[in-house]
Amino acid sequence: MTDFQAQRPPARNHVRRGSATVVVLWSIAIAAMVVAATQMITWRTASLGRASLGQVQARWAARAGIERIISTLAYHTETPDPEDPMLLYRDLEYDWSGSLSSGTWEMQHAAEGMELKGPMDLHSRLNINAANSLQLQEVPDMTIDVVDAIRDWIDEDDEVQGTGVESSFYEGREMNYRPRNSSMKSIAELELVAGAWPESVRGEDWNLNNRLDANENDGDLAFPADDADDELDLGWSGYLTAESVDSPLGLSGLPRIDLRTASAEELVDTLEVNEAQAQALLQYASGENPILGTLLTIELAEIVGGTSSSSRQGGRSGRSRGRNTSTQDSNVIDPLTDQQLERIFAECTVTDFTGIEPVPGRVNVNTAGPEVLRILFDGDAGIAESIMALRQSRAEGIRSIVELRGVRRIQPAILAGVADQIDVTGWTFSVTSRGTSANGQEVEIHAILDRSNLPVVIRHFRED
């Protein structure tokens, strides 16, 4: 062996050391990739966990707002203040926002082009199931053919009214549905009626949450198309509702007295009327289709064919507005005073609340906007302005519809004609509660709350 051969390192050792280096480098690279992937998965899992936790926190914050409103509604239903109908609404406005340890809630609604705090009184709108054809024609952009189609949708028969349509129309166009032939259940159902397009019913409020959402104030950037004017166009849903219900409870919180089945003694004790007046009220209520509004225009004695004490006192006619002076003659009937009338409208009824279907709600003259009031009074904007001025002149608002007799523009016959459609409080509320978690997640809950009986009932619940 030569010296050169003895000094040269074995080639096999070089190969082994090079392979080991490559393996080590690849192992480091793979380990780095595994660590990076693990970190990415862990980060994504943590992010999803935080998002899920935020969603849960936001959901319960929104639900806490709903429960706060339920509590306030229950309290005012059980212990109302008949002398201050607006106290309920001031408390509801106070509840518009609140917080938990994990999130916050806030509630607003749109009405008459404004954003108002708190839930919306559904009685601020005209119930489509109780509105007459003349009132429906006063709704902006409502045509007579749609009005007749609405009446055909609601009535129980298959007789076409005017330019309306019945079952044959819908079946002939293979729409796979027929008219309900009973009360509508929601304002969205109006879209099924011939001629009533979603754009007309919803306006810009496509999700019917009564709130101005970002996509409803951005022009044509996102559906639906809107005016981007910072005001929410509610379409027909801003004037009409199908979900307000009347209550068998009086303004005192006690069950209303059904004049068709009450006793004279009960009326004397509750309404502070005398025996003759009580008997006359019972006689009138036992007749065919009694309407309490008639008491606003015609003396009680005249209604039942009796003798009025006012006709025996110098031949005076018209309703007495002073204190009730009971006569000794049981055949003579004193005119009802304003105080007695207020008690009758607050605590009595001739409506049957025992049916399967709820009784359509009345319009609350303390919360209805000027446009709804105009529609209610057959398009008379002057009456609407007068009612608005009256209720805004005092914090408690209008305590009784009897007080509307003092509004100069309202003739007694006009008031009597809408008396069975108006009230001074609301029993059904639409609540849109938006919950926000600590990390900024948002959940919105929309609910319809009914306080017409206790406990307060959630009639509709939707989470967005």
Per-residue pLDDT reduced to its tens digit, 286-310? 988 899 999 999 988 888 888 887 7
The dihedral sign for the CA sequence 41, 43, 49, 55: negative
- DSSP class of residue 355? S
Tokens of 205: 């409020």
Whether residue 91 is predicted with pLDDT greater than 70 in this model: the reply is yes
pLDDT > 90 fraction of the chain, expressed in percent and rounded = 68
Predicted confidence at residue 6, as pLDDT, reads 53
Whether residue 358 is predicted with pLDDT greater than 70 in this model: the reply is yes
Please report which confidence band the pLDDT of residue 326 belongs to, taking 50, 70 and 90 as the band edges: very low
Whether residue 343 is predicted with pLDDT greater than 80 in this model: the reply is yes
Average pLDDT over residues 346-356: 93
pLDDT digits (tens, 9 = 90+) for 164-204: 999 999 988 878 889 999 999 999 999 999 999 999 999 99
Largest CA distance in the chain: 158
Whether residue 320 is predicted with pLDDT greater than 50 in this model: the reply is no
Residue 314, CB half-sphere, CA atoms under 13 Å: how many? 2
The dihedral sign for the CA sequence 358, 125, 88, 415: negative
Q: To the nearest 10°, report the CA torsion of 91, 92, 94, 99.
A: 130
Strand 428-437 with 257-258, pairing: unpaired
Average pLDDT over residues 359-376: 96
- DSSP class of residue 334? P
Whether residue 366 is predicted with pLDDT greater than 80 in this model: the reply is yes
Let me know: does 190 contact 196? Beta carbons within 8 Å.
Answer: yes
Whether residue 315 is predicted with pLDDT greater than 70 in this model: the reply is no
Query: 336, 312, 342: which is closest to 403 by C-alpha?
Result: 342
Rounded distance between C-alpha atoms, residue 363 and residue 107, angstroms:
22
Rounded distance between C-alpha atoms, residue 67 and residue 98, angstroms:
11
Report which residue type is found at 338. D
Which residue(s) pair with 443 in the sheet? 435
Strand 120-121 with 457-463, pairing: unpaired
Whether residue 40 is predicted with pLDDT greater than 90 in this model: the reply is no
Rounded distance between C-alpha atoms, residue 382 and residue 340, angstroms:
28
Rounded distance between C-alpha atoms, residue 188 and residue 241, angstroms:
9
Whether residue 37 is predicted with pLDDT greater than 90 in this model: the reply is no
DSSP assignment of 391-430: HHTSTT----GGGGGG-TT--HHHHHHHGGGEESS-SEEE
pLDDT digits (tens, 9 = 90+) for 274-284: 999 999 999 99
Q: What is the SS3 assignment for 75-120?
A: HHHHCCCCCCCCHHHHHHHHCCEEECCCEEEEEEEEECCEEEECCE
Q: Tell me how far CA of residue 64 lies from CA of 50, 71, 209, 445, in angstroms.
A: 21, 10, 18, 10
Query: 276, 260, 202, 259: which is closest to 232 by C-alpha?
Result: 202
Predicted confidence at residue 325, as pLDDT, reads 45
Mean pLDDT across the chain: 88
Average pLDDT over residues 111-129: 93
Average pLDDT over residues 84-113: 93
Let me know: does 447 contact 433? Beta carbons within 8 Å.
Answer: yes
Question: Would you give the end-to-end CA distance of the chain in angstroms?
Answer: 90
Tokens of 341: 């009338």
Tokens of 243: 């979900």
Q: Tell me how far CA of residue 362 lies from CA of 67, 128, 185, 338, in angstroms.
A: 25, 10, 16, 21
pLDDT digits (tens, 9 = 90+) for 379-406: 999 999 999 999 999 999 999 999 999 8
Predicted confidence at residue 317, as pLDDT, reads 42
Predicted confidence at residue 322, as pLDDT, reads 40
